[in-house]
Amino acid sequence: MRAEENVLLTQTGAGTPMGELLRRYWWPVTSNGRLLRDPVISVRLLGEDLTLFKDKSGRIGLVDRRCAHRRVDLSIGIPTEEGLRCMYHGWMYDVNGQCVDQPTEPEGSHFNEKVRIKSYPVQELGGLIFAYLGPEPVPLLPRWDVLVWDNTYRHVGASVLNANWLQCMENSVDTSHTEYTHGWWFEYHVLDRGGGTGNPEHDAIAQEHADSFKVRHLKTEWEVNEWGIQKYRLREGEAEDTPDWTIGHPLVFPYFVRLGGKIRSELQIRVPMDDEHTLHLDYMAYCPGPDVEVPEQDYVPYFEHPLFDEAGRPIADYVLAQDLAAWWSQGAIADRENERLGVSDRGVIMFRKLLMDQMKIVQDGGDPINVFRDPAVNERIDLPVNVLPGPVTRSAFSEKDDHRMSLTEMGDMTAVVGDNAGFKLSHYHMDRYSPALNQILEIYRRYEEVRLQRA
Ligand code: FES
Ligand SMILES: [Fe+2]
C-alpha cells in the first residue's frame, strides 16, 4: 500500500474523504446506564470534542464541548430541567445548543438569543446512545437485530485504545488470527510463562480453552454482501456443513462485527474518536430463546475493562483483551506501507477496497451501504449469522457453538451453585468486570434449569 492510501483510509476528520464517509452513519457513544451514573460526559467522536448530557426532563443532547461565553468545559456542567448549565457563570443550553439563560447578564437582556453552540442529533436504541454528525437528510438509525430483540438482557464493555479504528475493523476479516492470538498466546501467558493457575483442574480447562482456538483453519473465505463482508471458516475436524462454513458471520459496514451465540450474541463496535484513538464497545446481548425469561432490565450497564495489569503488562487472559493487544501493538496508525500481505489476508484487502469504493460513492453524492431511509426495511434487520438463539435443547456450556464462552460459564455456574472448584475459571472472561455479572449468571442458571427439567 502506498503511504497516501494509508492516510486516505485512516483519516477521520470532517472534510477528509474517509471522515465524510464515516459521517454518514449513526455512531454509538455510550449506554443509557452510563448516563444514569454520569448524566454529563465528554465525548470525542470523529475528531470532534463534544459534551453529551441528559437533562432533568430526560432529554439527551450532544453539544459543543465548550461554553460559548469564555470556553469553559461543559462536560463538567450542571444538568437542569431545561438543559445544561455551564459551571462558570451559569449560561444554560438546551439539547439543540441554543443558549436559553444567562443569569449574570442584566435583566431584560436578549443576548442569549444570539448565542447558539454546535449540536448534533442523538437517539437511543437497545440501550445505546447514538449520535449523527453528518449532513441532512438524517438517515434512519438502523435497527440491527440484537438491538431490538425481545427477552434479551444486555450490557456493554468499553475500552479506549491508542489505535486507529481501522486496525480493529480489519481484525473482523482476519479469520485465522484466532489460532495464535486466542490459542497460542493465551496458552503461553497463562500456562507457560504464567506458570499455570496453581490448580491442575483449572489448568486442564485452560488448556482445553487454548486448544479450542489453536485448531488450524483449512479454508477461509469472504464475500461482499448487502451489509458488508460475510466471512466463512472451516477448521480441522469440522464437516463442510458446519454453520461457520455454510453461513459464517458478518462484518457490518463500516464499524462492527456481529457474533452469534446460542445465548450470548455480540456486536463488537469500533468507534473512531480521532485518527489515533478508538472507543471499543462490546455490546453483549443475552437471549436464551423463548423458553427462558431473562431478568428485568431498566437500563444497559456500561463498564470499562482494563487492557493492562498493575505492572503495565498487557492482559492476556480474556479473548477481547487478546484482540485489543494485537490492535494497539500495531501502532497508533499501522504502517501499512511496510506490510507483507499473504493469502490469508484476502478479507483485509477486500474490506479496504470496499471502503475505497464507498468513499467514492459519497464523493459522487450517493448514499453508501447501510444508510437506511425506508422504515419498512428498517423494522428489524436480521443479519446472517452462524449461531442464533434457539429453544433449549442442549447444554449451554459445552457446545462448540459457544466455545468462546463455555469455559467461563461452566466456571461461573459451578460457582453459583456453590462449587468453589469452578470459581477461578470465570477469570477468563471479561464479564468478570461487569456490574451485571449476577444477572447474566442467572440467565444461564435458568437456562440449565429448563434444560434439566426437559432432559
Ligand atoms: S464560561 Fe460558561 S458561562 Fe461563562
Ligand atoms: Fe480475535
Beta partners for residue 30, in sequence order:
129
Nearest CA to ligand 1 atom 3: 89
User: Could you tell which of 91, 112, 115, 117 is best to mutate to test the pocket of ligand 1, judged by most ligand atoms within 8 Å of the CB?
Assistant: 91
- Name the residue among 131, 170, 104, 207 with its Cα closest to residue 326: 170
Instruction: Provide the 3-class DSSP secondary structure of residue 370.
Output: coil
Answer yes or no: are the C-beta atoms of 73 and 65 closer than 8 Å. Answer: yes
Strands 119-120 and 249-252: unpaired
Strands 277-286 and 249-252: unpaired
The pLDDT of residue 420 is 28
φ and ψ of 433, to 5 deg: -90, -5
Any atom of ligand 1 within 6 Å of the Cβ of 87: no
The pLDDT of residue 28 is 98
Helices (H), 38-137: none
Q: CA end-to-end span of the chain, whole Å?
A: 57
Any atom of ligand 1 within 6 Å of the Cβ of 101: no
DSSP string, 192-216: ITT---S-HHHHHHHHHHHHHHHPP
Ligand 1 atom closest to 102 (CA) = 3
For the chain of 455 residues, list the mean pLDDT of each consecutive stretch of 10. Answer: 97 98 98 97 98 98 98 98 98 98 97 98 98 98 97 97 98 97 92 79 78 94 98 96 96 97 92 98 93 94 93 87 96 98 97 98 98 98 90 57 38 33 46 84 82 80
Instruction: Provide the 3-class DSSP secondary structure of residue 56.
Output: coil
User: Could you tell which of 51, 64, 65, 67 is best to mutate to test the pocket of ligand 1, judged by most ligand atoms within 8 Å of the CB?
Assistant: 67
Neighbours of ion ligand 2 (CB under 5 A): 323
Any atom of ligand 1 within 6 Å of the Cβ of 359: no
User: What element of type H or E holds 18?
Assistant: helix 17-22
Task: Give the number of whichever ligand sits closest to the CA of residue 322.
Answer: 2
- HSE-CB at 24 with a 13 A cutoff on CA atoms is 22
- The CA–CA distances, whole Å, from 258 to 84, 229, 283, 289, 386 equal 36, 11, 10, 18, 10
Any atom of ligand 1 within 6 Å of the Cβ of 92: no
The dihedral built from the CA positions of residue 150, 152, 153 and 156, taken in this order, carries a sign that is negative
Mind listing the domains of the chain with CATH numbers?
Answer: 28-132 (2.102.10.10), 145-454 (3.90.380)
Any atom of ligand 1 within 6 Å of the Cβ of 67: yes
Strands (E), 65-216: 78-79, 84-85, 92-93, 99-101, 119-120, 122-125, 128-132, 153-161
Task: Give the number of whichever ligand sits closest to the CA of residue 168.
Answer: 2
| Cβ neighbours of residue 15 closer than 8 Å, sequence gap 6 or more | none
Ligand 1 mean position to 279 CA, how many Å? 29
Any atom of ligand 1 within 6 Å of the Cβ of 72: yes
The pLDDT of residue 368 is 98
- Name the residue among 441, 428, 366, 391 with its Cα closest to residue 155: 441
Dihedral angle, C-alpha 229, 235, 241, 246, nearest 10 °: 0
Estimate to the nearest angstrom the gap between the alpha carbon of 406 and the chain centroid.
21
- Name the residue among 342, 339, 354 with its Cα closest to residue 6: 339
